[in-house]
Structure 1
Amino acid sequence: MNFTLSLLSAKTSTTTITITQFPENPKTLILEQCKTTKDLNQIHAHLIKTRLLCNPSVAENLLESAAMLIPEPSMDYALLIFDKLDKPDSPLYNILIRGFTLKQNPDRAILLFRQMIEQSVQPDEFTFPSVLKACSRLKALKEGEQIHARILKSGLGSKEFIENTLIHMYAHCGEVGNARRVFDGMCERSVFTWNSMFSGYVKSGYWEDVVNLFRKMLDMGVRFDEVTLLSILSACGRLGDLELGKWINEYIEANGLMGNPNLVTSLIDMNAKCGCVANARTLFDQMTQRDVVSWSAMIAGYSQASRCKEALALFHEMQKANVEPNEVTMVSVLSSCAVLGALETGKWVHFYIRKKKLKLTVTLGTALVDFYAKCGAIENAVEVFQKLPSKNLLSWTVLIQGLASNGQGIRALKFFNLMREKNIKPNDVTFIGVLCACSHAGLVDEGRDFFVSMTRDFDIEPRVEHYGCMVDILGRAGLIEEAYQFIKNMPIKPNAIIWRTLLASCRLHRNVEIGEESLKHVVRLELANSVDYILLSNIYASVGRLEDASSVRNQMKERGIKKTPGCSLIELDGVIHEFLAEDNKHPLSDEIYTATEDMINHIKLAGYVPNIAEARLDAEEGDREASVSHHSEKLAIAFGLIRTSPGATIRITKNLRICRDCHSAAKMVSNVFKREIVVRDRNRFHHFKEGSCSCNDFW
């Protein structure tokens, strides 16, 4: 009998093949030559006409081709074939269950398994792994446990590949203890079994268990493979276990495995997470081929080590190498942009995400919200948040914290209330954002209520950070004595940050006595910090005790306490420019200093008077005003004035708390030059506009 079969060639043109005699065993024809639904239709028709479809093995081959081999996302055709079969047996059910699982329809796979049981078709050793994989995909623990019970009743519980799938199912459902019980109960374990258990621990973040199990593996003399090492390196990075990580590195080198890019990428990630970023970069540079995973690992390593400028520089190299970034790359780049205040670069990343239509996952979307908030572009942060297709607790918390640090405390609390209306339970980090919002908005009573609500309504025990927020709330409101007593009555020992917070409040409200007491506690708890002495010096100066103020400054000199150099960053046209106080390393230094002098002269005409108390300690009397005028913030602002178009917002990132003089100057500049200036200092954001600041002159 002649049989005509149309096949698609590699060039996608249609080729017609005439088969003069249909083979008695058509397995090869069906499984190897049948490439499209059209081919399958022709063979199916012939099998029906010749009644070959009644042959179970032929029917099995046809169903397998329809369910798994034809590149058709739908299982409709396979179901059509299956429904026409008379009394399908377990191998036929297995094919369909595997097909549904493979084509991302695991719920149908589980329903088909139930149908199989109802039709009294006995599952075999190949049925259980397929349906357990479907349970894993859905995290269907209850169904998985029922199937486990059926496996034990069937007597197939000792089959290693079934037990491996059980381990995977339990681990994927978060039941790592059950997975380990299956593992421990096995009579024989192959390296695949060990790897299944390692994978389960990794998925659940049980990093110490990964390392402990690997040490047990070594003690038992069990051979491991490259897949094993990937899991162990991941755990070493998370635990900071550099010793074991180095041992694995040496093993990889000694056994000629450095050509495995996955292993080298894991070594890069491990070294970076353990703080050995230079080692990571050496490994990265030695790679002959780098995929997006290796680039992303190195960029993430720089980002996690707070070497954000290097992270962005490497990202630009990645672009030149024409390597398409993925979600991991984007999250790391956005994190670096957030730290540096690199708004333009981060905006480009956002544009790229939209252009490439990358899926805006919760992780990527939250990173975008965090980036915009930390760059002071809070409206952009809110806009991204509202457009997120899905949000988790971290997304809400990031927005609440962002609004609070940008001086929009009341708005932050509105989003908190909206979050509660959606039945999303806050955690301890959320409450830090909420209490900060109360602090910046001057909501003392509300802050007290939220602090009590943490324990009463959400069973969250306040940490030292929450107590610090309450001290800040009370101190900002001028309730210095109450804040002091609050610290004294804390059930946990206050740290230096708590006392420093009170010290800052004393500076604002000119409370000398408690300010002196606060500094004593800070010095007793922590190494001397120039910021603390300067705060007390400013308190003395504010009440006219200039000799005491000078005495504090002299104590700093005598004790060798040097003021941390101020550093300000500004991004223009995708380039980060860095300024230090009285620095002349910038290639446009002469132009910048001229612009700074011009800026200072303009705001002096508007009433600005330099506060020479903010000058560096070793500045001579005649140089003190120049010292103040050349603080890093002022240099960066002046650079922004001459390098951006009129009316454009100037965005500065400062490593320290902005000094009072620069704060006053920035307010004046915003009014005189009609510019909005956004400064992110160590504590918070300052949005200067029309001569005022969002912090209400308290930071």
Structure 2
Amino acid sequence: MEERGIRANHQTYLWLLEGCLNYGSLLCGQKLHGTILKLGFDSEHVLCDRIIDVYVACGDLDSAVKVLDDMHNRSVSSWNRIINGFAANKLTGRVLGLFRRMTAEKMSPDETTFAGVLRACGGSNVSFHHVEQIHARIIYHGFGAHTRVCNLLIDLYLRNGFIDSAKKIFDRLYFKNSVSWVAMMSGLSQNEHEVESIHLFCQMHSSGIAPTPYIFSSVLSACAKIQLFDVGEQLHGLVFKEGFSCETYVCNALVTLYSRSGNLTSAEQIFSKMRYGDGVSYNSMISGLAQQGFSDRALELFKDMQLNCLKPDCVTVASLLSACASIGALHTGRQLHSYAMKAGMSSDLILEGSLLDLYVKCSDIDTAHKFFLATETDNVVLWNVMLVAYGQLGNLSDSFEIFRQMQIEGMLPNQFTYPSLLKTCTSVGALYLGEQIHTQVIKTGFQLNVYVCSVLIDMYAKHGKLDTAVKILRRLTEEDVVSWTALVAGHAQHGMFAEALKLFVEMLNRGIQSDNIGFSSAISACAGIQALNQGQQIHAKSCVSGYSDDPSIGNSLVSLYARCGRIKEAYLAFEKIGDRDNISWNALISGFAQHGYCEEALKVFVQMTKAGVEVNLFTFASAVSAAANMANKKPGKQIHAMILKTGYSSETEVSNVLITLYAKCGGIDDAEREFRAMVEKNEVSWNAMITGYSQHGYGIKALHLFEEMKKLCMMPNHITFVGVLTACSHVGMVNEGLDYFESMSKEHGLAPKPEHYVCVVNLLSRAGFLSHARRFVEDMPTKPDAMVWRTLLSACIVHKNMEIGEFAARHLLELEPEDSATYVLLSNIYAVAGKWDSRDYARQMMKNRGVKKEPGRSWIEVKNSIHAFFVGDRLHPLADKIHEYLKDLNEQAAEIGYMPDHYTLLGDGEQGQRDAAAHIHSEKLAIAFGLLSLSNTIPVHVFKNLRVCNDCHNWIKYVSKISNRAIVVRDAYRFHHFEGGICSCRDYW
């Protein structure tokens, strides 16, 4: 063109600059700029604007500003080009400087100007003061109701957390387009106002405004974030109706929604049908698979992602590391670590946390510690992961050392720091340290944080400080299912079953949907009080709530049926548990053992060992407990041999159960040897031995052991004081017993339970202070239970006090009208007083109400075989010989003063018939058989399911004298050691 002598004009250079702009050629642009200056075309506004465009597009912003500076008459368009150029490069400070300069030159900004300024501010944290200043300018220049500007302003306010200001603009905006709604919804969700975001969507939809894919993406993400999965599923239907089911943004949000809800089938269906899956799609799917435990599938999907030439980002790698951590794939995790380092991602904060978590969960603590030291330690997440690492090892000292270093370096704890420490304190039983952390929680302002409080509640509940746990829960302003279920579980674990159920019902009444832990704990509480119907109702509710296949609930249901004596139902519930482990078997064994079905418990134990299921300490403890309750040493000794083979013999828990076994089987000397041989004793050990001494009538030994326990700074608990008060009762130490009772609350902070009041009533009644015992019962802070009244009634028979006896019986019949023992005791007290009409009335009342007396049963072990006897039993192979020998014993006993006690019998017929009945009670038959079958050097050990009657007790004293044999009888109340005509109970039981 120049060769032909055709002179270029400004239009020519405009086209040439357009070419530079299209090709991004800064050098060509600079040459053209020089030529334009030489030719004097620099006064052309259109050319100058295009030169600015070239410099901005090529990143030479300073040259662009110089062009602006050299312009004689700068237009709004020129300023906008520069401002938007700096905004695109996120140079917020320069943008604000240019904007101030523009307004200082009396140049009126337009909507493009404000759009550039607002976009620049949106990319950085801007103070509320700066935002308000820009907002004021917008209003001043007449753009306060302009949709495009207001949309950006709403976004800016929400990005910086100024929600109320954003709402005001949105509400006043006359014309709202889809961008307005998206900005408001996504901004609310980002500021943890997801519910408001969803409500806004409903408002928009009801106003007839058609949602866009971006709007659906935003509201679905909000649903996923706060786990409103049912709402999300309804929105999915609307997505399909609106025809957006193939839109990438919407599909990504749906994949995330279904992945987080655990509905991976739906998530995978949507993912597989996507036309244009991107990195976000793969991240959502990989994250969902990893979170739901399908780590292998997550890793396979990562390979597919690479085959589709999609580059993984930090989110992808973090999810994959989580997958590796959950399955212990340390080698694959290391490969991902190498990839992250090569890709320059290793310094990402989320990724650092995931890497550290990988090494911790794979138990590579040394690498975890080295990695921690090599990173920038201003990331609180890493500190928290290290706290978790040492917590998993139960390493309390290193956990607190990490926390101390954290404080020294000025790192502020967050809501996950304290829970890590508190969980460690809980696992190792360091409540005193946990209480110190609680103080720190209050000082740093986390005392109302829901997550921190849930862990605090769990700690206090597991350590039995339930009042403190309740106080923390009541102070919470936000309802939290984890806190409630932790409290329910704590009450159930500490035997406060009624309170646990009250809390569970209160939680549901507050509209809090229980989780599997809550349902499981509530059913366990029902098992504790044998509330079968209520337990079944709770189980039905758990099934409706989607927990029909939950193993923890299944285990609790097994325990419920077992403890309620529903053996068939217990087995059916057991069979329905899909993945049965030792917890399932233990639930069945312990359930049967704890409620008297000991033979069934041992039967299940044998089945468990044959099935090859791993037997743990709890299994052995339950099995030995069952053997102890049967008073059968043989299976107990066999289980003890198994314990020795498995290497558990040195474990404190097993020794504790063996002490109980020997004590309940009458071998108090064996129990004492086991106790003294223990290397480490806990409060359960001391309690077992104190209780054993008390049950055998060795009250002085029990009290001496209690004092020894206190000297060793072992803290007594409620069980300890049952043994101590029982010991005082057996040795007649009334004043000392009352002092111990008062010391429970005053010195040890233990509120007396019903069983302690029973002990005090027994203590007073045994000593003959029946009026005092009655006043004590009437003054109890809680309503006396059946055991309290039964104890008082039994004492009235011994001391022949019919007035107080009738008083106690009336209360007892109100509480337990179907208990045969009450009618028997009442009938006996009338018989002792010679009130035969009243006695007959008590017997008739029992008959009219359909109450049947539980048949007496006694058993004795001879030559490793158990021999059981019932009243008047003639089924034994040696029955004739036993009855003949029993007749001889009766005659010998009568010769030295024995006289049958007819008044304590509830037989039928004439006097002579009652005499015959007295001679054939089951314990007499068992003792006669024992004397016939056992060597003279072996004591006779007999066990009875009911209380030994007065007549039999008196008869056994005479028989021990005439046979010159030691006879030990364990009835439903205690052990009786008979020797030389004297019983260890001193004729009171």
1:492 partnered with 2:778: yes
Q: For the Cα contact (< 8 Å) 1:580–1:631, is it kept in 2?
A: yes
Aligned to 1:479: none
State the identity as a percent.
Answer: 27
**C-alpha separation between the residues in 2 aligned to 1:439 and 1:124?**
55
Q: Alignment partner for residue 212 of structure 1, among 496, 499, 506?
A: 506
Q: Alignment partner for residue 585 of structure 2, among 281, 285, 295?
A: 295
Q: Alignment partner for residue 142 of structure 1, among 429, 436, 444?
A: 436
Distance 1:229 1:565, change over 3 A: closer
Distance 1:604 1:425, change over 3 A: same
So what's the TM-score if we normalise by structure 2? 0.52
The Cα shift of 1:691 comes to: 5.1
SS of match in other structure, 1:578 = strand
Aligned to 2:454: 167
1:471 partnered with 2:764: yes
1:357 partnered with 2:643: no
Aligned to 2:238: none
Q: Any idea what the Cα deviations from partners look like across 1:667-694, whole Å, max 9, x if unmatched?
A: 4554666653210123432223455433
1:686 partnered with 2:976: yes
Q: Which has the larger radius of gyration?
A: 2
The Cα shift of 1:201 comes to: 4.0
Distance 1:652 1:244, change over 3 A: closer
SS of match in other structure, 2:510 = helix
Distance 1:212 1:686, change over 3 A: same
**C-alpha separation between the residues in 2 aligned to 1:634 and 1:647?**
20
Q: For the Cα contact (< 8 Å) 1:531–1:563, is it kept in 2?
A: no
Aligned to 2:109: none
Q: Which is bigger in relative contact order (C-alpha 8 A, separation at least 6)?
A: 1
Distance 1:242 1:434, change over 3 A: closer
1:594 partnered with 2:888: no
SS of match in other structure, 1:168 = helix
Aligned to 2:536: 246
Q: Match for 1:380: what amino acid?
A: D
**C-alpha separation between the residues in 1 aligned to 2:720 and 2:739?**
14
**C-alpha separation between the residues in 2 aligned to 1:260 and 1:497?**
42
Q: For the Cα contact (< 8 Å) 1:568–1:633, is it kept in 2?
A: yes
**C-alpha separation between the residues in 1 aligned to 2:533 and 2:774?**
44
Aligned to 1:68: 360
SS of match in other structure, 2:590 = helix
**C-alpha separation between the residues in 2 aligned to 1:128 and 1:135?**
11
Q: Match for 1:118: what amino acid?
A: I
Q: Alignment partner for residue 944 of structure 2, among 645, 648, 654?
A: 654
1:118 partnered with 2:405: no
Aligned to 2:278: none
1:637 partnered with 2:927: yes
Aligned to 1:13: none
Q: For the Cα contact (< 8 Å) 2:551–2:578, is it kept in 1?
A: no
**C-alpha separation between the residues in 2 aligned to 1:267 and 1:93?**
41
5+ residue gaps, structure 1? 1-24, 187-192, 476-482, 507-513, 541-547
Distance 1:56 1:643, change over 3 A: farther
Distance 1:470 1:355, change over 3 A: same
The Cα shift of 1:125 comes to: 8.0
Q: Match for 2:761: what amino acid?
A: G
Distance 1:81 1:592, change over 3 A: same
Q: Match for 1:210: what amino acid?
A: F
SS of match in other structure, 1:633 = helix
In the TM superposition, 1:192-341 aligns within 5 A as 194-195=481-482, 197-203=484-490, 205=492, 207=500, 208-217=502-511, 226=516, 229-237=519-527, 245-251=535-541, 258-272=548-562, 279-287=569-577, 290-341=580-631
Distance 1:676 1:319, change over 3 A: farther
1:176 partnered with 2:466: no
SS of match in other structure, 2:778 = coil
Q: For the Cα contact (< 8 Å) 2:947–2:972, is it kept in 1?
A: yes
Aligned residue-pair number? 620
**C-alpha separation between the residues in 2 aligned to 1:519 and 1:178?**
42
Q: Any idea what the Cα deviations from partners look like across 1:213-266, whole Å, max 9, x if unmatched?
A: 234336xxx6x6645543453455457665664344335656886544333222
Q: Any idea what the Cα deviations from partners look like across 1:160-195, whole Å, max 9, x if unmatched?
A: xxx535522443245535763786348xxxxxx634
In the TM superposition, 1:539-578 aligns within 5 A as 565-571=855-861, 577-578=867-868
Distance 1:103 1:63, change over 3 A: farther
The Cα shift of 1:370 comes to: 3.5
SS of match in other structure, 2:977 = strand
**C-alpha separation between the residues in 2 aligned to 1:555 and 1:576?**
39
Q: Any idea what the Cα deviations from partners look like across 1:120-151, whole Å, max 9, x if unmatched?
A: 45667876765565465455243355357657
The Cα shift of 1:323 comes to: 3.2
Distance 1:120 1:267, change over 3 A: same
Q: Alignment partner for residue 100 of structure 1, among 377, 386, 390?
A: 390
Aligned to 2:273: none
SS of match in other structure, 2:858 = strand
Aligned to 2:907: 617
**C-alpha separation between the residues in 1 aligned to 2:633 and 2:416?**
54
Q: Match for 1:318: what amino acid?
A: M
Q: Match for 1:567: what amino acid?
A: R
Distance 1:667 1:141, change over 3 A: closer
Distance 1:642 1:289, change over 3 A: farther
Distance 1:209 1:273, change over 3 A: farther
1:407 partnered with 2:700: no
The Cα shift of 1:579 comes to: 1.9
Distance 1:532 1:382, change over 3 A: farther
Q: For the Cα contact (< 8 Å) 2:446–2:452, is it kept in 1?
A: no
Q: Match for 1:469: what amino acid?
A: N
Q: Alignment partner for residue 580 of structure 1, among 849, 870, 892?
A: 870
Q: For the Cα contact (< 8 Å) 1:67–1:96, is it kept in 2?
A: no
**C-alpha separation between the residues in 1 aligned to 2:564 and 2:631?**
26
Q: For the Cα contact (< 8 Å) 1:447–1:473, is it kept in 2?
A: no
**C-alpha separation between the residues in 2 aligned to 1:130 and 1:198?**
19
Q: For the Cα contact (< 8 Å) 2:422–2:456, is it kept in 1?
A: yes
Q: Match for 2:437: what amino acid?
A: E
Q: Match for 2:386: what amino acid?
A: L
SS of match in other structure, 2:399 = helix
**C-alpha separation between the residues in 2 aligned to 1:255 and 1:432?**
41
Distance 1:268 1:92, change over 3 A: closer
